[in-house]
Amino acid sequence: MTVILVAACGAALVIQPVLSRPTTTLADGSKLTLVAVTAGTNHVAFFKPLHQIIRAIPFLPKRALSATEPFGWNSPYPCVVVWCSWQGLTPTSAPPALCFVNNGGVESQALESGGGLRSYKEMVTVEKVQGMFAVSKYVPPDKTFKLRLFQTNQNNQRVYAGEWKFKNTAYVSPVNTR
C-alpha cells in the first residue's frame, strides 16, 4: 500500500510505503530496503516514519527536531531520487544497481549512483548505509513504473535481485485534441 504526499511548496512528490517497506535480498545476502522515491527538485526522505509525525508537532525543542532530521537534497534540475537503507553489507559488497523498466519490460540505462553509495567502500566495517542511492533526470512517461534491482557478483556478472513498482506521480495524461 502506498500513499502519495505532496510537499507544501509543491516542489517534490513523495511516494512512500506506509504499512511495510519493500525489501530485497541482493546477491551477497545483504538486504536493500526502499525508503522513498521522490520526484521534483526538493527531495526529503524520513528513514523512520515516526520522525515525520514527531516533526509535525508544533513547538518541539531543538534537540527533538535535530534528532528527527530527515535526509534531503535540493537538486538543480527536476529528477527522480531513490532513497534506500542497505543492511548486512561489507566493504567488499558490490553496490546495488537500479534501472527503470517500462510497461513493455524494456530497461533504461542504469540510474546514476547517489551519495549514499559513494563512501562506504572506504569504511573498515559497515553494517548499514542509508541515503540517496540513485538519481535520474529521466522520469518515465507511463502511469506506473518499475525499478529493477541488480548486484554484481564475485564473477563480475550482473545478478537480478527484484523489482519495485510505483504509481508515477509525475504522469500527465495526454490531452484529447478533438
176 in a structural domain: no
The alpha carbon dihedral of 87, 7, 1, 147 has a sign of negative
177 in a structural domain: no
Identify the pLDDT of residue 19: 44
The per-residue DSSP string of 142-173 comes to SSEEEEEEEEE-TTS-EEEEEEEEEE-TT--P
What element of type H or E holds 79?
A: strand 71-87
Please state, as a whole number, how many other Cβ atoms lie within 10 Å of the Cβ of residue 132: 24
Number of domains present in the structure of the chain: 1
174 in a structural domain: no
3-class SS of residue 65: helix
44 in a structural domain: yes
Q: Which residue(s) pair with 39 in the sheet? A: 13, 80
Question: pTM for the full model?
Answer: 0.74
- Phi first, then psi: give them for residue 106, nearest 5 degrees: -85, 130
5 pLDDT above the threshold of 60: no
Range of the domain at 154: 2-167
Question: If pLDDT is split at 50, 70 and 90, which confidence band does 110 have?
Answer: confident
172 in a structural domain: no
- pLDDT, tens digit, 9 for 90 and up, residues 61-105: 777 666 666 777 788 888 888 888 888 888 788 889 999 888 888
3-class SS of residue 161: strand
Identify the pLDDT of residue 157: 92
Residue type, 107: E
